[in-house]
Chain A
Amino acid sequence: MSTPARKRLMRDFKRLHQDPPAGISGAPQDNNIMLWNAVIFGPDDTPWDGGTFKLTLHFSEDYPNKPPTVRFVSRMFHPNIYADGSICLDILQNQWSPIYDVAAILTSIQSLLCDPNPNSPANSEAARMFSEAKREYNRRVREVVEQSWTAD
């Protein structure tokens, strides 16, 4: 069954596969192009360095007119990431546009890691530490980096 959403996702996959941006990878789960697994690697020379953070992306048949639901599976500590792994990022909500493909989504999330938006905290503890106690914040980030190596 080839719907516009599925056809588009095949092209997203082809591009991500042929021309992957640095530090991200992603692919549909077996037999289901609407559900993807992805990994974002923590950017070098930042507290996130070395982390391998897993995510899932759920696409609906409205894609690309509606954004996918993106969620971290790995435990995170970040001002804009909720305890359940969902992400507070404008392009995944009201600033979504079909110009973003999977590669662009993952790249945006990757840059969000080091560049949080303190105005829309999803984790108030992380938001507070990020602005008031950077050393402690960095320590907590290192913790989730280490956890990312061992967790399923």
Chain B
Amino acid sequence: MQNEEQLTCKIEDLANCCGGVDDDIMQKQSSVPLLGDKEPLSTLAAEYQSASPILLEKIKVLGDKYVAIRRTRGDGNCFFRSFMFSYLEHILETQDWAEVDRIKLNVEECRKTLQSLGYVDFTFEDFFALFLEQLDDVLQGNENSISHEELLNRSRDQSVSDYVVMFFRFVTTGEIRKRSQFFEPFIFGLTNTTVEQFCKSSVEPMGEESDHMHITALSDALGVPIRVVYLDRSSCDAGVVSVNHHDFVPAPGNLPSATSASSESINPFITLLYRPGHYDILYPK
């Protein structure tokens, strides 16, 4: 009897109920690492050998500017996880202490935002602490400093990686709710729900996919520009194949010092490849 009832429950309302189907998807996905190795761009082309020629053309064009791709697991957290690794890897490689100081100020602002929105401190403070710890650890010269390999290990370790993903979700929800007047029309147009409901159902739960709003909010809140390169079947005018990208550029006050100097031509140090429904990391030449 109970089986029958459970079945009804799942069939009746997949979105609201019981996660049975989600679990199946998770299981399939869990054979893919949370974060893959850096692979040459040619592996991307290999994936599309039998696909529409326009995709292969576009991948060829991508090859002019980018050398490698790092894949992430398609578990609904791929945007945040890509951002996490890409950002921390950038700090590890550049040892940009000024950028770390800058982002820490933004992180403190995010904390105040959540507090002023009525979020209870202990529900988010562990997530903040873990991110700040990763920031300090990728800076070299202190006893907890970590290597690139260790950064990879941590990013693949669910307990660390998911905490940092959740930190970004807190930051994103805080930013969207703080600027609810700005985000409201987009949210209402997309989902027909209130800002609060959107955050509760599409930002705060793990595994909920990100779109423009999430990226805008995260980029603004942390003051980090993000380039998203779009790989899809859409074709281009005049028969010339090109690959579209969009730069998410935070308001000038929040920009990292290195990029704010020339606000005309901001070159985001985080580049993500978007294929419908999924984000991976791209490495420029």
Contact = CB atoms under 8 A, between A and B. Distances in A.
A130 interface: no
B5 A99 contact: no
B123 to A, nearest CB: 5
Nearest to B169: A97
A15 B126 contact: no
Contacts of B169: 97
Nearest to B206: A65
Interface in A52-97: 62, 64-65, 82-84, 88, 90, 93-97
A65 B163 contact: yes
B18 A11 contact: no
Interface in B121-142: 122-124, 126-127
Nearest to A79: B9
Interface in B228-244: none
B207 A94 contact: yes
A90 to B, nearest CB: 5
Interface in A3-20: 4, 7-8, 11-12, 15
A124 B206 CA distance: 30
Interface string B227-268: 000000000000000000000000000000000000000000
Interface residues of A, number: 30
Nearest to B162: A65
Contacts of A11: 122
Contact of B17 (A64, A90, A96, A98): A90
A15 B122 CA distance: 9
The binding surface of chain A is classed by DSSP as: loop
Contact of A88 (B1, B15, B17): B17
A82 B123 contact: no
B5 A93 contact: no
Interface of B: 1-2, 5-6, 8-9, 12-13, 15-19, 22, 119-120, 122-124, 126-127, 159, 162-163, 166, 169-170, 200-201, 204-207
Interface of A: 4, 7-8, 11-12, 15, 62, 64-65, 82-84, 88, 90, 93-101, 117, 119-124
16 contacts: A11-B122, A64-B126, A65-B163, A65-B166, A65-B206, A82-B6, A88-B18, A93-B19, A93-B22, A94-B205, A98-B123, A99-B119, A101-B123, A117-B16, A120-B12, A123-B5
